[in-house]
Structure 1
Amino acid sequence: SEAAVEKTDLSHIGKAALKELEANHKSHHEKLWAKTSGAVVGNIAHSPKGTWNQDIDPEEGHSDWLPTDLANLLAKTEVWCDFVSLSPPDGIFMNTIKKAIQTVAQRSKDTDKKIVLRFLFGNIFCVPVNCDAVMKAFTDDLPTDSKLEIWVGSWRRGMCWNHAKIVAVDGKEVFTGGHNLWDPIYLQKDPIHDTSIHMTGEVTVQAHLFM
């Protein structure tokens, strides 16, 4: 189900946050923050699910839906995707994302149209991202006769780096929140809990503009 969120339907917390932003951070409007709207798709995405009352590790494959959902959204891209995270994917995350990229590459070939996939990661202090290696991993099995265009970058300035997690597709759908692309931390034994949200509408455009 989808629940529409109108611009005027701000909670008292939302109204207070907006008041603070407009008063003290107006120069960053529609660069680092924006008032927007959209529809929530399904429920809040959290992992691992159904474990609050358990004192044992969840069963194997407990959160494999997460990389699958991210990859399925990426695979829908027809024009442009911004895919942003703290660090590059590993394990199942990498495998499913590579398959999604192959799907988009085939679409570009079949339609003879350029499609852009733009990946941005944080360049964490003492753990730099090897963008060339990530690009190679993404493109090793891709055909060379499509019009798919892939960008891979990482960002750091001083002790600050990208920490956003966003998958925004064609100005239509966005998945954003707290989940990183780490197989051992999210998908295996003793996983951490995190939450994200899948939305459609204007909020997706703002996610693209943020990038």
Structure 2
Amino acid sequence: MNINNFGRDIKALRTKKNIGSRELSRLIGKAETYISQLERGLIKKPDYNTAYDIMKHLKFTDDTIEDFLYNFYQIKSPQRMKFDEEEIENWEEKRAVEIEEMLCKKSQNTETNQDHQACKFEADRLNITSKWMIELIQKLDEKNEEIKRELTFNIEKNAQTFESVIENLHSLITSMRKNRENFNFFVGIFKDDLSVLSEESKEKILKAVKEEVRKLNQNKEQI
């Protein structure tokens, strides 16, 4: 038996106990066609409470239903799901510590504070187990490499113009780990696609930024 056979097995049990599909649907508080759809595979996986009610009305005892649903169909009760989540969380935390210790031991003789941060960051990356998260990071890494190539191209072609650009970009990005406000500002600016803005909108944004910087510089001079 497996999850794909749940509906088929329910039909066999129901037929054996001489309970109609419409009757069983009504007993569990569902539409009259629910059990029929479940048995025909139109409903792939009922929630735990529904599955529990079905098994109970098929005369399974309360103390056997939870283990039966999990062992045969991988339908988990809320308590079992919570337990599994805690187990995964505990394992991930333990694994993160182990990886961090392993990486940090290799460089403990020459480690600086910056090295330690890089070590911890790498440990966090290695601890990611979600397939979609790994794929997302790979995708972002590819875009990051493309950004580097474009910046390099512009630096080589417009070194003098890009000198202040790179200096200021470096200042903002390297401050984000310690300064949450700078992090939020950076994310807020680039969360939307600025390339689609009209020339007029871009001019307004540049004007607003320059005005704020001018005010800041004036305040510094007064102090």
Do these two structures clear the TM 0.5 threshold for a shared fold by scoring above it? no
Q: Which is greater in Rg?
A: 2
Quickly name the TM-score band, shorter chain normalised.
under 0.3
TM-score by length of 1: 0.19
Higher relative contact order (CA 8 A, sep 6+): 1
Structure with the larger strand share: 1
TM-score by length of 2: 0.18
